[in-house]
Structure 1
Amino acid sequence: MGAMRDEEHDQGGEVIRKYDPKKDRDGTDAVDRECEVGPAGGMSLHADLLGDPVARIRHSPHHLMLVAETSGPGGRIVGLIRGTVKSVATGKSRPAAPAFANVGYILGLRVAPSHRRMGIARRLVRRLEQWFELMGAEYAYMATDKSNEASLRLFTGRCGYSKFRTPSLLVHPVHSHRLKAPRHATVVRLGACDAEKLYTRRFAHVEFFPADIGAVLDNQHSQGTFLAIVDNTGGYEWRGVDHFLSSPPASWAVASAWDCGGVFRLEVRGASRLRRGAAAATRALDRVAKWLRVPSVPDFFRPFAGWFVYGLGGDGRDAAVAAEALFSSVVNMARGSAAAVAVEVAALDPLRSRIPHWRRLSCAEDLWCMKRLGAGDGHADGWDWARSAPGKSIFVDPREV
C-alpha cells in the first residue's frame, strides 16, 4: 500500500490535508470555538486546547490531525479531525499471553456549522481510516455521548461502526474540605517501575490495556500510581511490589492519576447569573466552614482544569472499598490544581458501586463504537473484537480523554 498523499481534493470542493502548524492554528481554533461540546439545559461545555492543537494527541505513539479547507483563493478551514494509533489488549487471552491488536482512535471531529450536511465529516473520517490502515491498524473506534444523535448517525449509519461498549464517566468536584475515605484502607504510592510491573502482571488481559504502559506512567502529566489495601485483620505488611504480587492481601485496588490541565481547559458556558451566584455561595461557605463539609460547586464557569483517574482495577471482597479510598485520595490530592476529578469504568465493573461522584456531572452511559478495518475476515477462528461481548473491566488511556 502506498503512502497517503498530503492532500486530497474531494468531490465536494474541499481539500482534505494534514494539519500545518505554521498556517492552520487560527483556522482550527476558530472551528473549535464554533463547536460547543455537551449541551445541557441551555449550558454547554467548551474545551480549549493549550498550546498546539495536536496537544491532545501528541503523547500517543502515532498521531495525525487532518483539516478540511475550502478550495480556491482565500480558502478557510471548515473541519478537522484527530486520530491516534497504538497497540492494545483485546481481552481475548492466548495461552500464557494476552492478545494485542493495533487500533486507531478517532477524536476531535469538528465541522463548522456553515458547512454541515455536506459530507465533510464522512470524508474526514474515511481519510483518517486510510491512515489507520497504513499504520497497520486492524480496528478503529470512537467515543461519544449516547445522546449525540448526529455523531451516531454518522458513525453507525454511514461509516459502518457498531455500538461496542457503554462505560460510565463518573465525576466528582474538588472541594475546599477533604473527602472522607474508608478508615481501614491503607494507601501506598508506587514508583513508575513498580506500577508498570503491577499493571503488566495483573491487567495485561484487560480490554484496551496499552502495550506502552510504561510510557503512560512516565509521562509528565501522570501524577502517580496508588495502591489501596483493605485488611480487616491488620496483619498485612507492605513489603514492596514483588511481595505484593506473590502474596497479595485479601482485598486491594490500584489506580493512577493524570493531570488533563496541562493539555486543555474546560468551561461551562450559558449559565444564568442566578446559577453562578448560587454556586459561588456554596464555595464561600465551604471555605469558611470546612467542618460543615458543604457540597460546594467549583467555579466551572471560568476555564478550569480536571484530573483523570485511569488504570482502576482490583481484587477481593472489599476491592470496591479500596477503590473508594483511592478515588477519594486523588480528589484530595487535586485540591488547588483541579476543579474536578473523573474516572471511566466499564458497565459491568464491580468497583463502580463505591466510586464517589455527582450524578449531574457524570455520564451514566458513554458510548464507544468500533469497526474492523480492511477487507479481512478477522482472526483465523472467526473471532471479531468489534462484535465480542463486554468484559468486567476496561482500561481507559488518559492520553485519549
Structure 2
Amino acid sequence: MTVVREYDPSRDLAGVENVEQRCEVGPSGKLSLFTDLLGDPICRIRHSPSFLMLVAEMGTEKKEIVGMIRGCIKTVTCGKKLLDLNHKSQNDTVKPLYTKLAYVLGLRVSPSHRRQGIAFKLVKMMEAWFVKNGAEYSYIATESENKASVNLFTEKCGYSEFRKPSILVNPVYAHKVDVSRRVTVIKLDPVDAESLYRLRFSTTEFFPRDIDSVLNNKLSLGTFVAVPRGSCYGSGSGSWPGSAKFLEYPPESWAVLSVWNCKDSFRLEVRGASRLRRAVAKTTRVVDKMLPFLNLPSIPSVFKPFGLHFMYGIGGEGPRAAKMVKSLCGHAHNLAKKGGCGVLATEVAGEEPLRRGIPHWKVLSCEEDLWCIKRLGEDYSDGALGDWTKSPPGASIFVDPREF
C-alpha cells in the first residue's frame, strides 16, 4: 500500500535524495542532468507565498520513499479588463485581472515503482491541497518530448496544453562580455523596480501580484534598465528620475531585466559525457582564459556541479529594444561570471519579440517547454475573467524566478 503524506525533513531527507538521484540520471552513454538541491528539497518552493511537499511511502515494517511532489500557490495576472473612465474611447485604460494559481513541480517516482499509479495519486493529493487553499487553476511545466509526463497530466489528470515558452541558456565564458558603449546600464533599487514592473507589466500574463516579495528577496541580484548613452537618462549618476517619470517620458528605446541567483538554491551537473567531450570543453576554457581578448566562446565546466543565474522580467520598447536587451544580457553574463556560475538562463514566450536580443546556445536551450493548465473548480463564476484555459496566448509572459 502507498501512503502519501507531508514531507518531514527530520526523517525523509535521505529517502528523497535517493529518489532524486535515481530519477535524474539518464540511460548509460547519454548526457543527463543531475540536480543538487543543496540538502534542502523544498528550496525551490520555499520562497513562494504558500507551498507544500508530499512524499509517497511504501512498506509496513521497513518503509521506503518511492516518490515526491512539490507545489506552491500565488496570485497572478491571467488577463486584463478594458476600462472606460469617462465613457470616451480616448480615455480607455486597462487593469489586470488576477487569479489564484497553483504550480506543480518536482514530481518524481522511483524507476522501480513506476506504472503503479503513484504519480497520479501524488498529483491528486496535491490538487486537493490546492483546492482547500482557494486555488482556481493549477499548471505544470514539462518537456514536450517527455511523453510519459504529458500523458499523465493531459490524459489522466485533466490538464490541457496551454503555453509553449522557450528556455534559452547561454554558457558563462572565461572572458567578460563587452557591453556596448552606446548603452548605459542603470541599476534600480527594489522600490523603483517594483514601480516600473507594476506600471508597465502588471497586465502581462503570469505576472505575480507579490512582485515586491520577489524583488526584495535575498536571491534577487538586482533590476537593470538599459537606455541609449547620451539620452537624458544615460548621462551619468543622478539622471534617473524615477520609474513613473521615466515611463511618462521614455527614451526612443529602452529595456529592463532582473537577475535571480539560483546558485544558492540548487546546482546542476551534466553526467554521462565521454572523455573526449570533457577534454574538448576543458581545451576551450584554457584557450579562452589565456587569450581573453579574442572573445572566444568556451564551454564551462558543466561536468561537475555548477550554478546558474536566471534572468526574468525582460521587457522594453522601441526600435532598438532588442539591442538594449542584448546589452543587459551581457551585463548579466558578467555578474554570473563574477558569481562563479556556469550558465545564464531565461524563459520567454515563444512569440516574444525581444528574444532575438537574448544570446543563447541552441544545444543548451529548450525551444519548446510545455505548460499545461487545469481549472480546479467548476463552481467559480466566470465574471470578467472567463475561463483562462481557453484564452489565446499573448506575445509575452512573466516567468516567476521562484519557480524556475
TM-score, normalization by structure 2: 0.93
- Conserved? CA contact 2:97–2:385, under 8 Å: no
Show structure 1 runs of 4+ deviating over 6 A. Answer: 37-41
Of 376, 383, 387 in structure 2, the residue corresponding to residue 384 of structure 1 is: 387
1:38-49 aligned within 5 A: 42-49=30-37
What does residue 91 of structure 1 align with?
Answer: 79
- Conserved? CA contact 1:279–1:298, under 8 Å: yes
Of 256, 265, 270 in structure 1, the residue corresponding to residue 272 of structure 2 is: 270
Q: CA deviation at 1:92?
A: 2.7
What does residue 112 of structure 1 align with?
Answer: 110
- Cα RMSD of the aligned pairs, angstroms, is 1.7
User: Does residue 82 of structure 1 match 2:70?
Assistant: yes
What does residue 196 of structure 2 align with?
Answer: 198
- Conserved? CA contact 1:103–1:138, under 8 Å: yes
Amino acid in the other structure paired with 2:323: V
What does residue 61 of structure 2 align with?
Answer: 73
Q: CA deviation at 1:189?
A: 0.5
Write the distance in 2 (CA, Å) between the matches of 1:227 and 1:49: 31
Write the distance in 1 (CA, Å) between the matches of 2:268 and 2:110: 20
Secondary structure of the structure 1 residue equivalent to 2:18: helix
Amino acid in the other structure paired with 1:305: G
What does residue 348 of structure 1 align with?
Answer: 351
- Conserved? CA contact 1:182–1:321, under 8 Å: no
Amino acid in the other structure paired with 1:198: L
What does residue 247 of structure 2 align with?
Answer: 245
**What 5-or-longer segments of structure 2 have no aligned partner?**
84-93
Q: CA deviation at 1:382?
A: 7.5
Secondary structure of the structure 2 residue equivalent to 1:35: helix
**What 5-or-longer segments of structure 1 have no aligned partner?**
1-12
Write the distance in 2 (CA, Å) between the matches of 1:37 and 1:190: 41
- Conserved? CA contact 1:39–1:45, under 8 Å: no
- Conserved? CA contact 1:176–1:287, under 8 Å: yes
User: Does residue 361 of structure 1 match 2:364?
Assistant: yes
User: Kindly tell me: are residues 124 and 94 of structure 1, through their superposed partners in 2, closer, same or farther at Cα, counting changes over 3 Å?
Assistant: farther
Write the distance in 1 (CA, Å) between the matches of 2:274 and 2:240: 54
Q: CA deviation at 1:36?
A: 1.2
- 261-270 or 67-76: which moved more? 67-76
1:281-300 aligned within 5 A: 281-300=283-302
Write the distance in 1 (CA, Å) between the matches of 2:268 and 2:298: 18
What does residue 27 of structure 1 align with?
Answer: 15
Identity level (%):
51
Q: CA deviation at 1:348?
A: 1.2
User: Kindly tell me: are residues 372 and 94 of structure 1, through their superposed partners in 2, closer, same or farther at Cα, counting changes over 3 Å?
Assistant: farther
Aligned residues: 388
Write the distance in 1 (CA, Å) between the matches of 2:384 and 2:211: 28
Of 17, 38, 44 in structure 2, the residue corresponding to residue 56 of structure 1 is: 44
TM-score, normalization by structure 1: 0.93
- Conserved? CA contact 1:85–1:105, under 8 Å: yes
User: Kindly tell me: are residues 381 and 194 of structure 1, through their superposed partners in 2, closer, same or farther at Cα, counting changes over 3 Å?
Assistant: closer
